Structure 1
């Protein structure tokens, strides 16, 4: 007679969960090794050894935290900025603009300045600072 609640001891170990884990680890390993091998090869241009002696006009446009615009430290509106950039481009077609947007500035104002530079076909760059400085 068998007593209820007694169970027969297992004579084999269920290895299915262990195999599932092994397969998952194998797939992750394969994906990670192929991802690290593949990539884009980019051929970077080499700078010329001769320094440029040309000096072109540079306008520094600052976007303050409140959204105010300043050109070389002088407050201006977006319309005044456009006039100033048009005049500067007439004087020097290779002039450029450096845009300094404050970290707390309204992003829309920075984009408006970038759009204006693109519209006037003026060379521009964004001024950043290193992290921690």
Structure 2
């Protein structure tokens, strides 16, 4: 038995035949297209994530009509130009408003707050009143406006 050295091939690469040019085949993965696709997906998710997080609560109409005698309960809240709040035409403070709205919510959670405000009232004041109504348990708020004047027929 002889243990000798055997030649597995020619060349300096230990027996690997590389063809006529002597270049090794490229075995690296090109990740540039992968990075491009991932960046596009990242941008899409960054843009769409805030849109998915917003939740606008809509009370859409139903297909069946309501009964003629079925009038929804409502509480009228008005704010004059000075910021004074009135509930059913009686002046109240914010604490009294909270108590009255909590009482209305205890009677029925479907009670709607009909909010009428002078156009000079700051938006922040309206947001505070909406927060009071929401904290009292009333989530249905309607904004009452006037119809624009119609041109007279001549």
Q: TM-score under structure 2 normalisation?
A: 0.51
Distance in 1 (alpha carbons) for counterparts of 2:63 and 2:98:
33
Correspondences of 1:97-116 after superposition (within 5 Å): 97-116=113-132
Structure richer in helix, relative to its length: 1
Aligned length: 89
Tell whether 2:83 aligns with 1:67: yes
Query: Cα distance, 1:46 vs. partner?
Result: 6.1
Counterpart residue number, 1:84: 100
Contact 2:85–2:92, Cα closer than 8 Å, also in 1: yes
1:50 corresponding residue in structure 2:
65
Aligned equivalents of 1:98, 1:46: Cα separation in 2: 18
State which of 100, 125, 129 in structure 1 corresponds to 2:142: 125
User: Mean Cα displacement is larger for which, 115-124 or 80-89?
Assistant: 115-124
- In angstroms, what is the RMSD of aligned CA positions? 2.0
Indicate the structure whose relative CO is greater, using CA pairs within 8 Å and at least 6 residues apart: 1
Does structure 1 conserve the Cα–Cα contact (< 8 Å) formed by 2:105 and 2:137?
no
Calculate the TM-score normalised by the size of structure 1. 0.58
Q: What is the CA–CA distance in structure 1 between the aligned matches of 2:127 and 2:106, rounded to whole Å?
A: 23
Judge conservation of contact 1:65–1:106 (CA < 8 Å) in 2. Answer: no
Distance 1:69 1:106 in 2: 13
Cα deviations by residue, 1:56-75 (Å, 9 ceiling, x for unpaired)? 42111001000000001000
Query: Cα offset for 1:104?
Result: 1.6
Q: Contact 1:63–1:109 (CA<8 Å) still a contact in 2?
A: no
Match of 1:96 among 101, 112, 130: 112
CA distance in 2, matches of 1:46, 1:90: 25
